[in-house]
Amino acid sequence: MTNKIPLAGVIGAPIAHSKSPDLHNYWLKRYGIKGHYVPLHIEQGDLEGVLRALPKMGFVGANVTIPHKERVLALADIVTDRAALIGAANTLIFRSDGKLHADNTDGFGFIENLRANADWNPEVGPAAVFGAGGAARAVIASLLEVGVPEIRLANRTRTRADALKEEFGTKINVVEWVQAGYMLEGARTVVNTTSLGMVGKTEFKVPLDGLEKDAVVTDLVYTPLRTALLKAAEKKGCQTVDGLGMLLYQAVPGFERWYGLRPEVDDATRNFVLSR
């Protein structure tokens, strides 16, 4: 079956909370593109069959989220270097030759968000990263790519941080979670990649006495938009960048590949997504 109207969607379970359909459909409308983007609640056992079926139904690609981001790599025909390095994909392209192409744009989204919203030079000093889960992998890979000289990394479960050091190399220095506050001295980029501070989760309680005013501080958590970490950093005079921009920027490469136009992330985009 051929469908001239390009379809895309976000595959996950659960998926109802995802902001991606609102974002992509906003851009489709704004740019007058005939296309649709839908949430697809797909359980783990159904992923492979769904990935085979979607191109036949007119889908040109998809975003992938929890719990499929790692598994999808094994099902793809082509995996970009950055997706392989991160060990997960969030953006799929169903190519016209039938091949499944998997990419990871989370790191791109993370870096673009900082570049767009702060006067930020990653090379001037160490980064302090809290958390060693899936999102941390993309953050670490992208920080190394843009030239941070050192990444200090603390995670509640130390072994996960050690595993990232093992993988990403000598620029990573692992710090005990109970001493995470000490990572802040001299750090010029500070990133919370844990879910701490998110609505309904435990607060982010790392002591911030060591935080210096020339640090750029960002939080991947975007509900609430201004987390306690960002508020405290602001009080210290730091530049702060909220996590919503990362979500918006990571969507740009996929939209461009599927619909043929590079969408703009601007206040109107942001305000629309916030209003939903």
Amino acid at 205: K
Each residue 248-267 as x (binds ligand NAP by CB under 6 A) or -, in order, gives --x-----------------
Question: Would strands 127-130 and 151-154 be described as parallel, antiparallel, or unpaired?
Answer: parallel
3 is a site residue for ligand NAP (CB under 6 A): no
Choosing from 6, 243, 253, 263, the residue that interacts with ligand NAP (CB under 6 A) is: 243
Using CB under 6 A, pick the residue from 102, 143, 154, 247 that binds ligand NAP: 247
Concerning whether 165 is annotated as a catalytic residue, the answer is: no
Least distance CB 201 / ligand NAP (angstroms):
7
Query: CB 181 → ligand NAP: shortest distance, Å?
Result: 13
> d(Cα 211, Cα 182) in Å, to the nearest integer?
9
Q: 164 with 195: CB under 8 angstroms? A: no
Q: Which is nearer to ligand NAP, 33 or 140 (CB)?
A: 140
Spatial contact of 181 and 210, defined as CB atoms under 8 Å apart: yes
At which residue do the structure tokens 């020339």 appear?
Answer: 214
Give the residue at shortest CB distance from ligand NAP. 133
Reduced to 3 states (helix: H, G, I; strand: E, B; else coil), residue 193 is coil
19, 29, 34, 69: the catalytic one is: 69
Candidate residues 128, 241, 246, 251; the one interacting with ligand NAP per rule CB under 6 A: 246
Q: How far apart are CA 161 and CA 174, in angstroms?
A: 6
* Secondary structure element (H or E) that encloses residue 164, with its range: helix 158-168
- Cα gap 66→68, rounded to integer Å: 5
Under rule CB under 6 A, residue 156 binds ligand NAP: yes
Q: How far apart (Å, rounded) are the C-alpha atoms in residues 251 and 138?
A: 15
Residue 157 binds ligand NAP (CB under 6 A): yes
Residue recorded with tokens 């920080």? 143
Segment 120-149, which members bind ligand NAP (CB under 6 A)?
Answer: 131-136
Smallest separation, CB 244 to ligand NAP (Å): 7
Give the binding site for ligand NAP (CB under 6 A): 106, 109, 131-136, 155-157, 160, 193-196, 198, 202, 220-222, 243, 246-247, 250
Catalytic residues, by residue number, are: 69
